[in-house]
A and B are shown apart, each in its own frame.
Chain A
Amino acid sequence: MSLAPVTSAIDLAAKPSWRSVKNSIASGLMAAAVLAVATPLVLVLASVIAKGAGVAFHDFPDFFTETVPIVSRRAGPGMGPAILGTLLVTGVATLIAVPLGILGAIYLHEYGARQRFARIVRFMAMVMTGVPSVVMGLFVYVTWTLTFGYSAFGGALALACLMLPVVIGTTEQMLKLVPDHLREASFALGAGKARTILSIVVPAALPGIVSGALLAVARAAGETAPLMFAVGAATAYNGHVFGGANTALSVQIFGNATSSFAAAQDRAWGAALTLLMLTFLVTLVARIVTARVQSKR
């Protein structure tokens, strides 16, 4: 059924008003802000890909498997030991910091709540977020490296110290977002506190907790200063976590980029691209795994 056209006295068309002008200005400002944020991001990504792709994918997969040339002015691959080193150091750091951070946040939010001790811990964690990574590297250098020498584990310790406050902070925020009525529902069925936290609260907050952990991992993977203190800059593969100097992509990027030889600078670009891809890959895998776990329940 269609309505017959009529001319009406009521005019519903939009009229120019100060309100609509304000709306356009605000929308324009927001679009400009997005552009301002996105521009450097895109430029960085573009230049890393432009300068790094040729190096990293030349004679694939040599760049990702060959050892670092001892004589840095010689052209050619690769970054194999640095990839292994970054995986080792960041992996061990994640193993230390993520469980500790999540457990700490659970204590702070579910058990400590407003107690004095919890407040102090929360404050210290916040302060720790602001500690420069160089200072953390120096700390590990003094307490660990001077005694036990260079090792991947020393670097992992420094990175774990940097990750811990991030994991604690984000996890606690996520636990705060779990509505109390879910806790009540669990208690009303006769569940204890530990059971409620494990079966209801943590699963409900899981996607956020994983995001927080990923943020911390991504940040740690790019850290350079603490690793130079604790890990060293080896050129050969070293699969040992505790023994001997190791290396990492970030350390290699710094070393090669500051070198005066063009071949080394090329390798730095290749390593930068490799690090970007690695971080992207880890994030992707973690997201997929969380989605799987979520849909299973």
Chain B
Amino acid sequence: MVATPASPASPASPASSKAPVTARPLHAAPVPVARPSAADMLSVAEPVFEIADLEVYYGKFRAVRNVNMTIRKHQITAFIGPSGCGKTTVLRCMNRMNDLVAGARVGGTLRYHGVDLYDPQVSATEVRRRIGMVFQKPNPFPKSIYDNVAYGPRLSGIRDRAKLDEIVETSLRAAALWDEVKDRLRDSALGMSGGQQQRLCIARTVAVEPEVVLMDEPCSALDPIATARIEELMRELVSRFTIVIVTHNMQQAARVSDTTAFFTAELDPSADRRCGLLVEFGATSKLFSNPQDERTENYITGRFG
């Protein structure tokens, strides 16, 4: 499927555009469901994000344009493309992290379960509790391993010791880290290796039970073994979460993702600067074996980028 301006998210029926303001389905708790078989999932799974004509500005500079896509539940969606094509920018819009950048502005619509994420009534804090993020560089807090994982649950008011212990254990298990750290939960997280720190960051994100986990090049600072562990982890986690991953590594996208979005950067005639745009969006197997757009084909075959 080649992205065209009028693709998936546009059926803006009166119901879906009106309902969010009053009903606020943002408060609905994410319910884990069994994963349907890979074949029927691609088009059948419930849409989580519907993005239409998204564009992002930093001050006067337009960083990315023409982003149209539908991200579905319990899938791994990979964003690939050369540097400066706006992958990370789009990802950071999806949980309002771009709010923290002075001068960042968003155009078009970005709906999360039908709610416009940039509606003035939507609280960025509420959004981020449902849509977690793992960053490029492992960034554990300078606290103990336990307190790193317990930080999110404590934010939502969980004080009960036994409950916290349980959350910490299940989260660390989910991140395949429990066996390595169970005897030193009180040690500083800064004493861990890079790969362990990144898995701790995943555990910390998982601990708040988000519905979506956004990953911004989570393996770029890790060695191949740590990378393999995290990829394996992503395949396990996708049964509980919806995952969006930005990666520079095409093999990684091909290995782990169900759906792939290819971005590129082209000269923006109006600003005389390069501006990112979405070129192609579709099932990973199809995008890599039979790309519809020449630019995609050039990139994945290594003729460009």
Contact = CB atoms under 8 A, between A and B. Distances in A.
A182 interface: yes
Contacts, number: 63
16 contacts: A182-B141, A182-B142, A185-B204, A187-B100, A187-B128, A188-B135, A188-B205, A189-B151, A189-B155, A190-B208, A191-B155, A195-B155, A200-B141, A203-B142, A297-B142, A297-B144
Given A187-B97, A187-B100, A189-B132, A182 B152 contact: no
Q: Chain B CB within 10 Å — which of A182, A191, A200, A204 has the most?
A: A191
A81 to B, nearest CB: 44
Q: Chain A CB within 10 Å — which of B137, B143, B201, B205 has the most?
A: B143
Nearest to B134: A188
Contacts of B143: 203, 297
B125 A190 contact: yes
Interface string A166-182: 00000000000001011
A10 to B, nearest CB: 35
Given A185-B140, A187-B124, 12 more contacts: A184-B139, A185-B204, A188-B97, A188-B128, A188-B205, A189-B132, A189-B151, A189-B152, A189-B208, A191-B151, A203-B143, A297-B143
Contacts of A179: 139
B55 interface: no
A209 to B, nearest CB: 14
B147 interface: yes
Contact of A185 (B135, B156, B208): B135
Interface of B: 95, 97, 100, 124-126, 128-129, 132-133, 135, 137, 139-144, 147, 151-152, 155-156, 201, 204-205, 208
The 10 closest A-B pairs by CB, nearest first: A190-B129, A188-B133, A181-B139, A189-B152, A190-B128, A185-B139, A297-B143, A190-B125, A191-B155, A204-B142
A185 B100 contact: no
Nearest to A188: B133
A192 interface: yes
A238 interface: no
Q: Chain B CB within 10 Å — which of A182, A189, A200 has the most?
A: A189
A39 interface: no
A220 to B, nearest CB: 30
Contacts of B126: 190
A190 B152 contact: yes
A199 interface: yes
A186 interface: yes
Interface of chain A, main secondary structure: helix
Contacts of A183: 100
B151 A186 contact: yes
Contacts of B140: 185
A189 B204 contact: yes
A297 B140 CA distance: 13
Contact of A190 (B137, B141, B147, B155): B155
Nearest to A178: B142
Nearest to A189: B152
A199 B139 CA distance: 15
Contacts of A199: 151
B125 A191 contact: yes
Contacts of B144: 297
A175 B132 CA distance: 25
A206 to B, nearest CB: 10
A270 to B, nearest CB: 44
A189 B151 CA distance: 8
A43 B151 CA distance: 51
A195 B129 CA distance: 14
Contacts of B142: 182, 203-204, 297
A182 B139 CA distance: 6
B42 to A, nearest CB: 28
B205 A297 contact: no
Q: Chain B CB within 10 Å — which of A190, A200, A203 has the most?
A: A190
Contacts of A189: 128-129, 132, 151-152, 155, 204-205, 208
Contacts of B141: 182, 185-186, 200, 204
B145 to A, nearest CB: 11
B29 to A, nearest CB: 14
A199 B154 CA distance: 11
Contacts of A185: 135, 139-141, 201, 204
A192 B125 contact: yes
Nearest to B201: A185
Nearest to B152: A189
Nearest to A206: B142
A195 B128 CA distance: 14
